Amino acid sequence: MDFVLKGNLCYSESPERLTTLPGGYVVSVNGISEGVFETLPERYAGLPLTDVGDRLVLPGLCDLHVHAPQFAYRGLGMDLELIEWLETRAFPEESKYATLDYASRAYELFADAVKKSATTRLSCFATLHVPATLLLMQKLESAGLRGFVGKVNMNRNSPDNLCETDAETAGADTEAWVKEARRQFMRIQPIITPRFIPSCTDALMDRLSGIASEYDVPLQSHLSENQSEIKWVSELCPSTNGYADAYERFGMLGDKTIMAHVVYPEPKEIQLLGERGVTVAHCPASNMNIRSGIAPVRKLLNAGVKVGLGTDVAGGQTIDMFRAITDAVQVSKLYWRICDQQDQALTLSEAFYLATKGSGAFFGKVGSFECGYELDAIVLDDTDLPHPQELSVAERLERAIYLSGDCRITNKFVAGEPILP
């Protein structure tokens, strides 16, 4: 259904340029933006108009890294560090998804929460369980969301009840899952998901890389999250030239790859990620919570690496992508202050760009209202943030992002389809 949306439009044209158009029009035809207009061109006068009055209208936010099964224990066990947290929180909880009944209850909560959130697109990890992963895809698809879901692969250094056996069986399961997912779903697509280097044998990595290539499926994993993890990888893969190279040698770094975190990249790794066109999912909350550190986002951007934002629930405690935006700004200020005063902090405009066009690029032409972009939009009611002074639309947007918990999302469109209210 084609339509016109009228309201206070806010979107990025570039990292430096946050455009606001009070009372502007954005036109959706076949789910694609025809562009924004101060006055509605005559040729669109016949389309149905949704006028949201004084509310803010933003592109949907894109969450590049989130663990769906961890949503059930977000905000718990936050005093632990990565490896300890995986062993005492993540793995025991993820093993419950062998049971479809538990998976159904938990994934229903996740899909419902994402539907109500500012997120329109996501790339998420499920667990290694194929039936539960298909169930998650079905629930996200039904919610009207778009993006990728990965059946996780892990066949070493994992607890017995959460460990695939030989690479051949794991590969065959994964290949069958890719085919079945493509058969069943339109909006939600499969993504190959080796958990991280320590949890996959070389044979499995080879097999997964082959599937990604044969079926032209994107790939996601974790890279350089935490110092102990990096040390572990160097012990497991003594012949590689750093953590990124441990993926590179399996042909896993390319322009359809998301690598989450990248907190401690070597200069040569930054160069490699840039050359391969890998998208980095920056997850500032998680990097604080499980004591990983602060990713050098400015260095990545300066080197031309593609960067988007992720909530990394449940390393991050919330799926609120507005929080990811302000967390990204805040930790970049600390990085500038403490780590390297050559690296200017991110501005709000830049972080907003990362959460919209930056993350969105992984999903196609997504994350803006410019002509030709898929029409993902959220409408924000900020009337619970009363103010005694006059505020511009840009100021109201800044406030709404910093105080997102006090705003309400009243409408949401994904690729031109209304999914809220």
List contacts with a second copy (CB under 8 A).
72-79, 93, 96, 102, 105-106, 109, 285, 288-289, 291-294, 317-318, 320, 326, 329-331, 333-334, 336-339, 345, 347-348, 385-389, 391, 395, 398-403, 405-406
Residue closer to a second copy (CB basis): 257 or 289:
289
Cis peptide before 314 (omega within 30 of 0): yes
Q: Which two tokens stand for residue 240?
A: 């590689």
Q: How far is the CB of 150 from a second copy (least distance, A)?
A: 21
Nearby residues of 157 by Cβ (< 8 Å), 6 or more positions away = 198, 199
Q: To the nearest whole angstrom, how small is the minimum distance from the Cβ of residue 9 to a second copy?
A: 20
For a second copy, the closer CB: 158 or 349: 349
Alpha helices in 308-377 (DSSP H): 321-334, 348-353, 359-360
Q: How far is the CB of 157 from a second copy (least distance, A)?
A: 24
Question: With respect to a second copy, which residue has the nearer C-beta, 294 or 305?
Answer: 294
> Which is nearer to a second copy, 106 or 128 (by Cβ)?
106
Q: Which of 108, 77, 140, 120 is nearest to 290 (CA)?
A: 77
Q: Which is nearer to a second copy, 175 or 382 (CB)?
A: 382
Tell me which H or E stretch contains 168: helix 167-184
DSSP 187-231: SEEE-BEE--GGGS-HHHHHHHHHHHHHHT--EEEEES--HHHHH
User: Residue 77 Cβ, how far from a second copy at the closest point, in Å?
Assistant: 8
Tell me the closest approach of the beta carbon of residue 78 to a second copy, in angstroms: 6
Q: Which is nearer to a second copy, 39 or 342 (CB)?
A: 342
Exposure of 25 in the CB half-sphere (CA atoms within 13 A): 17
The tokens describing 183, both together, are: 């058969």
Closest approach, Cβ 283 to a second copy, in A, equals: 13
Among 417, 419, 418, 416, which residue's Cα sits nearest to residue 27? 416
